Structure 1
Amino acid sequence: MLDRNEAVRSSLAQRYAQVRRFSETLCKPLAIEDYGLQVVVEASPPKWHLAHVSWFFETFLLRPFLSGYQVFHPRFEYLFNSYYEQTGTGFWPRPERGLLSRPTVAEVYDYRRHVDGAMERLIAQCPEADWPEVERRLLIGINHEQQHQELLLTDIKRHFAHNPLRPLYRTDLPVAEPASPAPLRWLEYEGGLIEVGAQGPGFYYDNEGPRHRVFVAPFRIADRLVTNGEYLAFIQDGGYQKVAFWLADGWAQVKREGWRAPLYWEERDGEWWVMTLGGMRPLDPAEPICHLSFYEADAYATWAGKRLPTEFEWEHVAASQPLAGHFVEDGWLHPRAAPPGDGIKQLFGDVWEWTGSAYRPYPGYRSAPGALGEYNGKFMCYQMVLRGGSCATARDHIRPTYRNFFYPHERWQFMGLRLAEDCA
């Protein structure tokens, strides 16, 4: 019978192996030519993702904690570092990740096998004195790889949408039967002094804490996400032509980029179609709107006479709800229409929900020392918070306190919105 320490190590070893396998499962539908694509700066090649997450384990676990560890290749620490300045190695420029034909895809998979074998030894043989820090970093690494699994899917979609052939990532993805949108209802919350943020046992990122109290005024929140059909009404009312709905930076972005619809929408003979990981499909008016920037979400809310919820309002609502929704394990890889019934819906999964909150540190927050402290803290400027996960998020990766963050102009992730308003 395993003692508690052995059981913890065995459980983490199994989870590590499962997460590593899933990254490779996500890449099985790809052709060899797909692995090196990078059509825009923000979307990295699949080959880079597979190597970078291995670099993470090698850099933060194997090199400092596994005695006698030999790196797979001495230049990989430079090629596959993303943004960590304090490792001292520098990093290959992000816009040029797609310019590297070497290492080959086969070499990247060999790199993964090399790292996996060493990680198996580390988990089994790590001295007790080192284990608490190894366990902490291992959990970060596993969750880090899950983040890159979502990026793999969203980046592949971005790459494929650039191709006029509109290739399919997978031919077997299910398609929901068209349904009538659920009527939008409003749920009222009293507000008051509430507690937000993570604490206690279980994994969470440093940016989710410390737990603290905030005051929330009484508010109402929509029971479901905004749909394609509702957003289409905004477009048909000239939403992309009327400056009054837009923040100044958003309006400048609309003019600069020529936006007239969400990312991946195409108008064909007066009908709207949308690019999915299963190819082009007719726009379903009941599905949640997605691939919106913060600017578009905010403009829609202004047009509708509402606003985006704050991240604290969202968490206050989500904290008492079951973690239910459509996640990557469900295999749709596309948001689904809200189910019928009363109560709050779609808080988790389907699409990340833009909030009206800037991504800033909580009171008392301190970044961890060293390079790992760069994971979240140094990005707490000029970005906005999203909550709830998406159809490309792993179910065991999300929680009510999870704070995602992106720049307000970005929209290649599964990003949507829910409306809120102040109580009179």
Structure 2
Amino acid sequence: MTGPSTEPDVLKERALAALLTARQRTAALTDCVEDGELTAQHSPLMSPLVWDLAHIGNQEEQWLLRAVAGRDAMRPEIDSLYDAFEHPRAERPSLPLLAPGEARGYAAEVRGRALDVLEATPFRGTALTEAGFAFGMIAQHEQQHDETMLITHQLRSGPAVLTAPDPLPGPPFTGPAEVLVPGGPFTMGTSTEPWALDNERPAHRRLVPPFFIDTTPVTNAAYQRFIDDGGYDEIRWWTPEGWAMVRKNALRAPLFWRREGGQWLRRRFGTTEPVPADEPVLHVSWYEADAYARWAGRRLPTEEEWEKAARHDPATGRSLRYPWGDEDPTPERANLGQRHLRPAPAGSYPAGASPLGVRQLIGDVWEWTSSGFLPYPGFAAFPYREYSDVFFGGDYKVLRGGAFSVDAVACRGTFRNWDHPVRRQIFSGFRTARDAGPAETPDPVVG
């Protein structure tokens, strides 16, 4: 198997399941708080939850009801209110937004009509309907906003309102600290994944020199050693912009950490707890990840290196959909879908390891790379420029792999996320890499 089924009936069932799963999650994230919490802005970095709720419905209306089905607009007067480019997040509380009950009703009415459109639409004929792309795009869009709303819940003050079981404990990881990824060409990106977004396309060949990459993401315990060694006080580990951020904001640790009674504590979804030593570090900016890597005598992997570590199968030379192969994610392979509200301990999910043995490349924490966000050769914006094209070339850094907050529909070995290097509220961590010296690289097989 080299990819998901492209049979229309199978894809239609997949689209229906993805839309229903996303809406169940949206309801769980918005029904757990009172209306006042929905309309409040819990951080200037984030929208009020009620904005996300109506925006989800508005995007679904625009693409599935208007663009695919050709129907007249239901609420054309609200389009500008829920245009993410017209109104920055900090301004959205001052807009005449739909009230919580009205927003729920609007999103529900759109969804009812959209399901009728799904049933009636053949998955062929146009770029939007081929393989059900528009329906997959909308399911991914809703899940991305669900992740955004989960971030807002983490930023809220007040008691916990979300619950989920912790990942099942497993034996401590005792494998190698790093893995050698052999040099050579590999296929990056995709031209066959039916719901891949424009910035993942097209597939193209990249030549990557040999390198070593951490077997697991960097842990809280490892990051604490950086802190204890004065990492936040040493200018030599930081880029000029990162050092300015540290000094301006008096940073001493990842976001949500505090030192109390000789130990580090963190706030996680309204609960204060000791920082678990064996979990991947979370809520660090690109600048912090880069500084740690320099302190450790290493570096962040490039985006090409990360994807080669995650997808390349040395035995066949083929690029896999996921580290473990072409099959969709399962709970045994990756921590996805808000099934847990925290990363699993570093080294978990051996069934999700890559052919070379690298673990947790999918799920748990988004991983910063050293690369800026740029288009692939042959990139074509689709179906609108504002998804990717307008973000290329800024100060954005690429993150890969997804996190516990990401649903499987919006997470693939080719999926690309990006954000400003100062961002810490996102569910971001990292792993490090280093160049492989000539003495560390096996001789090529000649035959």
1:266-277 matches, within 5 Å, as 266-277=258-269
| 1:17, distance to aligned residue in structure 2 (A) | 2.8
1:362 corresponds in structure 2 to 376
Q: Is the 8 A contact 1:179 1:286 kept in 2?
A: no
SS class of match (2:45):
coil
SS class of match (1:325):
coil
2:335 corresponds in structure 1 to 326
1:144-163 matches, within 5 Å, as 144-158=141-155, 160=156, 163=157
Aligned residue pairs, count: 405
Relative to structure 1, is the Cα distance of residues 6 and 174 closer, same or farther in structure 2, using a 3 angstrom cutoff? closer
2:47 corresponds in structure 1 to 44
> Cα deviation per residue 1:129-184 (whole Å; 9 max; x = unaligned)?
866524322221111111111111112112x2xx3x4x213255437769867565
Match of 1:282 among 274, 279, 303: 274
Give yes or no for the alignment of 1:104 onto 2:99.
Answer: yes
Mapped to 1, the partners of 2:114 and 2:293 lie a distance apart of: 47
Relative to structure 1, is the Cα distance of residues 18 and 170 closer, same or farther in structure 2, using a 3 angstrom cutoff? closer
Relative to structure 1, is the Cα distance of residues 315 and 8 closer, same or farther in structure 2, using a 3 angstrom cutoff? closer
Question: How big is the alpha-carbon RMSD for the aligned residues of Structure 1 and Structure 2?
Answer: 2.5
Give yes or no for the alignment of 1:29 onto 2:38.
Answer: no
Relative to structure 1, is the Cα distance of residues 377 and 81 closer, same or farther in structure 2, using a 3 angstrom cutoff? same
| 1:192, distance to aligned residue in structure 2 (A) | 1.4
Mapped to 1, the partners of 2:378 and 2:71 lie a distance apart of: 39
Can you give the 5+ residue segments of structure 1 that lack an aligned partner in the other structure?
84-90
Match of 1:243 among 209, 213, 235: 235
Give yes or no for the alignment of 1:378 onto 2:390.
Answer: yes
1:88 corresponds in structure 2 to none
Q: Is the 8 A contact 2:172 2:347 kept in 1?
A: no
Q: Is the 8 A contact 2:300 2:368 kept in 1?
A: yes
2:87 corresponds in structure 1 to 92
Mapped to 2, the partners of 1:291 and 1:204 lie a distance apart of: 27
> Cα deviation per residue 1:22-61 (whole Å; 9 max; x = unaligned)?
2112323223222123233322221111111111111223
Mapped to 2, the partners of 1:190 and 1:136 lie a distance apart of: 35
SS class of match (1:382):
coil
1:69 corresponds in structure 2 to 72
| 1:270, distance to aligned residue in structure 2 (A) | 2.4
Q: Specify the code of the residue in structure 2 equivalent to 1:94.
A: R
Q: Is the 8 A contact 1:169 1:279 kept in 2?
A: no
Can you give the 5+ residue segments of structure 2 that lack an aligned partner in the other structure?
1-6, 314-322, 438-447
My pick for the range that moved more, 29-38 or 346-355, is 29-38
Match of 1:412 among 412, 417, 425: 425
> Cα deviation per residue 1:213-253 (whole Å; 9 max; x = unaligned)?
22211111111111101101111111111100000111111
Q: Is the 8 A contact 1:38 1:98 kept in 2?
A: yes
Q: Specify the code of the residue in structure 2 equivalent to 1:332.
A: H
Relative to structure 1, is the Cα distance of residues 263 and 209 closer, same or farther in structure 2, using a 3 angstrom cutoff? same
Give yes or no for the alignment of 1:118 onto 2:113.
Answer: yes
Q: Is the 8 A contact 1:55 1:81 kept in 2?
A: no
Q: Specify the code of the residue in structure 1 equivalent to 2:144.
A: Q
Q: Specify the code of the residue in structure 2 equivalent to 1:234.
A: F
Mapped to 2, the partners of 1:128 and 1:273 lie a distance apart of: 51
The percent identity for this pair of structures is 33
Relative to structure 1, is the Cα distance of residues 350 and 15 closer, same or farther in structure 2, using a 3 angstrom cutoff? closer
Mapped to 2, the partners of 1:252 and 1:30 lie a distance apart of: 37
> Cα deviation per residue 1:340-361 (whole Å; 9 max; x = unaligned)?
6793211111100111111111
Relative to structure 1, is the Cα distance of residues 49 and 182 closer, same or farther in structure 2, using a 3 angstrom cutoff? farther
Q: TM-score scaled to structure 1, two decimals?
A: 0.88
Q: TM-score scaled to structure 2, two decimals?
A: 0.84
My pick for the range that moved more, 334-343 or 355-364, is 334-343
Q: Specify the code of the residue in structure 2 equivalent to 1:240.
A: Y
